[in-house]
Chains A and B, each alone.
Chain A
């Protein structure tokens, strides 16, 4: 009996042995400190990120791969302390098809910083100017076809909302009441995020054609908006003239159709991306549902010899306005922004990065950053944020958040 068990064990081991597993740990430690122009701390924290990556099979042509990443983040200035699961996925390589399941992030689109078709992952908007992507549970398939065509499909079975802006970055809206009415109570916010149910599944599909010299892609997304449409319901209290306010956060079902691409022409790379968002309120008559809109980004990029790499972009946002009380169409509101991004490697250790957004409403945001490599994988960063504009402008509300921050990061 023992001999049979031993034989079976040897057979099992010999079956596993060819599937060689390679693993590698990596991570980073970051400490940061910042103050805003009012003298308040904008950052005073530390962050540790760790990841385990692995492959099964051949080193460069594995049959499977996996990644598990953990993020420990504490910031006294934002009263934040958390342990968050980052990317945690497994991937199978099946010939020309890659199948990935788990917590993951995807990047779709072609332009810089503003990507109308890159909507599958929610964002961490606690500091909205960073808007880092959050890994979310997803099943993703990528197929490489003949003719330089790549097809992708992603299924997001469970809705995850973006993290809302922290108090310092948020303007709480003041609802207006009907004339002669008094609010006596504001009830707790009712968050109506979609439940985990088959009918609430989200998905996206993308086809990209990438022959030499240019690429072109079309995308379709069936999602919920990851930031809520806020509304307030007026609820009678039973006393004449007295009402209670019931704030409601709803996540609208949306369909996004987009196209993006890039082309290299001599010393320039031109990129463009556009998407139209359909909602369940095409005429803008339901205040509790967001209105349809579109976003177009057009830009060019070049590298100046011995100088910086420069990106210039123009962004156009359009949104259907709420319908008039008589039901007539409210028209479309257009908003233009220009963006300039400059990256320059001053020397082997020093990188200069400047991002500048100028809205056509007169407001803007300037964000220069200097990064210096003290040693291999040890980087210090000094950054300024300057927001300007009127109170009711796009960036004017962030004026008080202008300030400076410094961080030191070590990767391993």
Chain B
């Protein structure tokens, strides 16, 4: 909220005070007539907001332990643990450490403009396999997340429309993937609080049907950065839920290029 200062404040001081009820009525009338959002907002369009989201300080690299809990509608759960290394949205490597039957499985995603590649390593086959773009909609190791959900949202892959601004302010944005993005979704509806600029709720649509919902919880200030420590994805028609929680977070560490290689994926 921006406080009025200088001449504007002085002008208010010499005017006769306006009764609060009258101010409220005036605001309601203004909103009804002009369509001005109820909350003060810093961003006037979806593109401005998403530019701010993209400009939000992000660590150059993240190393963390992730715990993934997959629960069905009845509440029965399975847990997977993995180690994650990433440098922005460009390179990410995941290695499963538990349970024993999938330990050693790995996932490497590289998209740095010149290279766009997703590789999966399954120790039972002892082979590194390439996952094609169309397979980005596949379930990520049996969870409610698809591969493209794990990869994150590349702002350049979407066009945005501001649907509304809720109290907070909290921006509700519709994101439509471009044909070139290779996304398996038809549109996403994102809710972005201005305070964090983190898309804290994302609803994924195919056609008019909402099929999944992602929420981000436990947003913490870690060093210079705001991080969502827990991500919860719900598959709406069957009620299953996957929660990915990160811990032992190491930001801006020196992650060598050797980590993001097929060789390290196999190791």
Q: List the interface of chain A (C-beta within 8 A of B).
A: 26-28, 60-61, 105-107, 144, 210, 212-213, 215, 262, 264-269, 301-303, 305-306, 309, 345, 347-349, 351, 373, 375-377, 379, 409, 411-412
Q: Contacts A212-B116, A212-B117, A348-B70 hold; do A411 and B130 have CB atoms under 8 A apart?
A: no
Q: How far is the CA of A409 from the CA of B106 in the complex (A)?
A: 22
New A-B pairs, 5, CB < 8 Å, besides A302-B135, A376-B98:
A28-B100, A28-B101, A264-B131, A267-B132, A305-B184
Shortest distance from the beta carbon of A52 to any chain B beta carbon, whole Å:
13
Q: Which 8 A-B pairs have the closest CB atoms?
A: A267-B134, A377-B99, A411-B100, A303-B135, A411-B101, A348-B70, A376-B99, A107-B126
A-contact bits for B73-84, CB 8 A (1 contact / 0 none): 000101100000
Q: Contacts A105-B126, A349-B72, A373-B78 hold; do A264 and B133 have CB atoms under 8 A apart?
A: yes
Contacts of B114 in A (CB 8 A): 212
Contacts of B242 in A (CB 8 A): 348
Contacts of A349 in B (CB 8 A): 72, 76, 78, 142
Interface membership of B11, Cβ < 8 A = no
A264 touches which of B71, B101, B130, B263 (Cβ 8 Å): B130
Contacts of B258 in A (CB 8 A): 61
Interface membership of B217, Cβ < 8 A = no
Interface membership of B59, Cβ < 8 A = no
Contacts of A27 in B (CB 8 A): 100
Contacts of A376 in B (CB 8 A): 78-79, 98-99
Interface membership of B195, Cβ < 8 A = no
A-contact bits for B235-267, CB 8 A (1 contact / 0 none): 000101010000000000000001101111001
Closest partner residue, chain B, to A269 (CB atom): B132
Contacts of A306 in B (CB 8 A): 137
Q: Contacts A264-B132, A267-B135 hold; do A212 and B143 have CB atoms under 8 A apart?
A: no
Q: How far is the CA of A269 from the CA of B134 in the complex (A)?
A: 9
Interface membership of B229, Cβ < 8 A = no
Shortest distance from the beta carbon of A263 to any chain B beta carbon, whole Å:
8
Q: How far is the CA of A267 from the CA of B79 in the complex (A)?
A: 30
Q: Contacts A269-B132, A348-B78, A376-B78 hold; do A309 and B143 have CB atoms under 8 A apart?
A: no
Shortest distance from the beta carbon of A18 to any chain B beta carbon, whole Å:
20
B262 contacts A210, C-beta separation under 8 Å: yes
Q: Contacts A60-B264, A411-B99 hold; do A305 and B117 have CB atoms under 8 A apart?
A: no
Q: How far is the CA of A106 from the CA of B125 in the complex (A)?
A: 10
Q: How far is the CA of A215 from the CA of B144 in the complex (A)?
A: 31
Shortest distance from the beta carbon of A337 to any chain B beta carbon, whole Å:
21
Q: How far is the CA of A373 from the CA of B182 in the complex (A)?
A: 32
Q: Contacts A26-B103, A379-B101 hold; do A302 and B134 have CB atoms under 8 A apart?
A: yes
Contacts of B142 in A (CB 8 A): 345, 348-349, 351
Contacts of A26 in B (CB 8 A): 100, 103
Contacts of A264 in B (CB 8 A): 130-133
Closest partner residue, chain A, to B73 (CB atom): A347
A266 contacts B134, C-beta separation under 8 Å: yes
Question: Of residues A212, A265, A301, A303, which shows the largest number of chain B Cβ atoms within 10 Å of its Cβ?
Answer: A303
B72 contacts A348, C-beta separation under 8 Å: yes
Q: How far is the CA of A362 from the CA of B227 in the complex (A)?
A: 60
Closest partner residue, chain A, to B185 (CB atom): A305
B130 contacts A269, C-beta separation under 8 Å: yes
Q: How far is the CA of A339 from the CA of B19 in the complex (A)?
A: 80
A412 contacts B135, C-beta separation under 8 Å: no
Q: Contacts A26-B100, A107-B125, A377-B100 hold; do A266 and B78 have CB atoms under 8 A apart?
A: no
Interface membership of B115, Cβ < 8 A = yes
Interface membership of B139, Cβ < 8 A = yes
Q: Contacts A144-B263, A348-B72, A377-B99 hold; do A303 and B126 have CB atoms under 8 A apart?
A: no
Q: Contacts A376-B78, A376-B79, A411-B101 hold; do A348 and B143 have CB atoms under 8 A apart?
A: yes
A-contact bits for B197-240, CB 8 A (1 contact / 0 none): 00000000010000000000000000000000000000000101
Shortest distance from the beta carbon of A350 to any chain B beta carbon, whole Å:
9
A-B contacts, 11 of them at CB < 8 A, read A144-B261, A264-B130, A266-B132, A302-B132, A303-B134, A303-B137, A348-B70, A348-B143, A349-B142, A377-B101, A411-B101
Question: Of residues A60, A107, A302, which shows the largest number of chain B Cβ atoms within 10 Å of its Cβ?
Answer: A60
